[in-house]
Amino acid sequence: MTTPVFRFAPSPNGALHLGHAYSALLNFAMAREAGGRFLLRIEDIDIARCTPELEEQIYRDLAWLGLEWETPVRRQSEHFDDYAEALERLVEAEIVYPSFMSRGEVRAYIADAEADGQSWPRDPDGAPLFPPLDKERPASERRRRMEEGEPFAWRLDMEAAMAHWGRPLFWDDSGSGPDGETGSVPARPEVWGDVVIARKEMPASYHLSVVVDDALQGVTHVVRGRDLFHATAVHRLLQELLGLPVPAYHHHALILDEDGRKLSKSRGDTGIAALRAAGTTPGDVGRMVGLEVPDEGFSHQARR
Ligand code: GLU
């Protein structure tokens, strides 16, 4: 049997909070339980928003929680070539197209479409699906605009991609989705419309880099927050289009604040560093998220 491989994959675009602590601790506990490996991956493709200071803080926070991970840590910003190669295969298969519409143009298009009282379809995050205009542009126009240096994003032609794969998609979830979906879950990537796969100046997007990295790192178990449950449908489609292995999934509950809202990186109150500064112990953090964590941190117990 192959060794199970788990990963915690934060983005250093804000400080980690209690929700991240739960995800990291749960990954670590599940890896230990399964006799598996635990990896940390830094998802920093958004180089405008990710900073080295926040990355350092992630290492400090996780070490304080007592977690130990394999090194070297994979930092996505060092692997754009891998994503570019995957993108190239999608371009060659003609299942991605360059989209030129600006945010303003998209907003205007949708406002216009909704003017007669009909609502434009929204994705699971509530964002309107991308209009079909760019997809219909002739190849000569696309080439010209790209050559002229216009900004663009590579989008998956969802219809063409689904037809290309041509079979139903599923994933196994030992956790659950927002509506209690669990077990073998049917994937419906079409609810996202033509998602961004890469940009002119950045040959990667979250969806592309996450599936490429999970495959390259041999990740067998993806344990992450329920907010990414529906995104898994896109990941399953990309895995099939790129011929990548399919991990098992476990989407866990989100830690909510007292008002029942999702914790956010911008609200400092439940930041791990703030909790530590206020005298909270790793054991307290464990109690706050419902996991058993020794006061001196997890890995110390593992070594005993
Ligand atoms: N980097 C993502 C985040 O911080 C998580 C990606 C994943 O676990 O697939 O939300």
The answer on 70 and 58 residing in a single domain is yes
Q: What is the residue range of 232's domain?
A: 79-217+227-241
The answer to whether residue 86 is domain-embedded is: yes
The answer to whether residue 281 is domain-embedded is: yes
CA 274 to chain centre: 25
Instruction: Write the residue with the smallest CA distance to atom 4 of ligand 1.
Output: 10
The answer to whether residue 253 is domain-embedded is: no
The answer to whether residue 40 is domain-embedded is: yes
pLDDT class for 302, splitting at 50, 70, 90?
very low
Q: What CATH number is attached to the domain comprising 283?
A: 3.40.50.620
The answer on 73 and 119 residing in a single domain is no
Q: What CATH number is attached to the domain comprising 235?
A: 3.90.800.10
Q: Which of 145-149, 183-187, 203-207, 267-271 comes out lowest in average pLDDT?
A: 267-271
Q: Ligand 1 pocket, 210 CB below 6 A?
A: yes
The answer on 236 and 90 residing in a single domain is yes
Q: Please report where in the chains the tokens 């500064």 appear, as a residue.
A: 277
Q: Ligand 1 pocket, 76 CB below 6 A?
A: no
For residue range 139-192, what is the model confidence (pLDDT) as tens digits? 999 999 999 999 999 999 999 999 999 999 999 999 999 999 999 999 999 999
The answer to whether residue 73 is domain-embedded is: yes
**Residue 301 in this model has a pLDDT that exceeds 70:** no
9 CA to centre of ligand 1 in angstroms: 5
Q: Which atom of ligand 1 is nearest to the CA of 235?
A: 9
- β-bridge pairing 196-199 and 153-156: antiparallel
What is the per-residue pLDDT for 268? 62
Q: Ligand 1 pocket, 232 CB below 6 A?
A: no
Q: Ligand 1 pocket, 11 CB below 6 A?
A: yes
Q: Are 169 and 246 in contact (CB under 8 A)?
A: no
Q: What is the pTM of this model?
A: 0.94
The answer on 303 and 281 residing in a single domain is yes
The answer to whether residue 198 is domain-embedded is: yes
The answer to whether residue 266 is domain-embedded is: no
